């Protein structure tokens, strides 16, 4: 499997991911969320969800919140395209759940909404093909060309 063949490379970048890199990625994601989902940004800041999801999703490259078969596709795309894939996926997930998230009363409810979405939607074959062929075309379809 691809994951096991890149394990040594992951160990080399692990210190980056858990220190400076995570903080930088959180800041970048907050700026992207402000730009691309402005109607949701203030609500998510009030609930403290943006920093929570960005840390969880980015440190694990979505492996902790998706079915394994889908998450490894994300990891493959990450190694091909870089961190922009993770930002684009995170923005697409937020965008797909705007209405539900705006009605959330606390961070737990928002995290439940996002968790259910990731578990349900990423099981579909459409998701697998979307990320298997991730390119600038797919980025423009998702509206988040970073």
Q: Mean pLDDT per 10-residue run, the chain (146 residues)? A: 54 53 83 90 85 83 84 82 85 89 91 89 62 48 49
**Can you give the C-alpha Rg of the chain in angstroms?**
15
**What separation in angstroms does the CA of 25 have from each of 19, 57, 73, 105, 129?**
10, 11, 20, 26, 26
The predicted structure's pLDDT at residue 103:
93
The predicted structure's pLDDT at residue 82:
83
Q: Could you give all domains of the chain from N- to C-terminal order, each with its CATH number?
A: 2-142 (1.10.472.80)
Q: Which residues contact 87 (CB under 8 A, 6 or more apart)?
A: 25, 28, 29, 32, 144, 146
The predicted structure's pLDDT at residue 136:
46
The predicted structure's pLDDT at residue 10:
53
Q: Which residues contact 57 (CB under 8 A, 6 or more apart)?
A: 64, 65, 86, 89, 90
The pTM (predicted TM-score) of the whole model is: 0.74
DSSP 106: S
**SS3 for 96?**
helix
């Amino acid at each position: 499997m691809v994951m096991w063949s890149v394990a040594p490379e992951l160990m080399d970048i692990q210190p980056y991911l858990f220190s400076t890199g995570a903080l930088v990625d959180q800041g970048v994601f907050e700026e992207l969320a402000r730009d691309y989902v402005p109607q949701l940004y203030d609500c998510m800041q009030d609930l403290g969800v943006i920093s929570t999801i960005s840390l969880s999703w980015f440190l694990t490259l979505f492996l902790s919140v998706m079915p394994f078969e889908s998450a490894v596709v994300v990891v493959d795309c990450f190694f091909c395209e870089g961190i922009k894939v993770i930002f684009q996926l995170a923005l697409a997930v937020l965008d797909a759940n705007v209405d539900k998230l705006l009605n959330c009363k606390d961070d737990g409810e928002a995290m439940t909404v996002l968790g259910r979405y990731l578990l349900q939607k990423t099981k579909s074959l459409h998701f697998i093909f979307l990320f298997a062929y991730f390119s600038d075309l797919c980025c423009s379809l998702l509206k988040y060309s970073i």
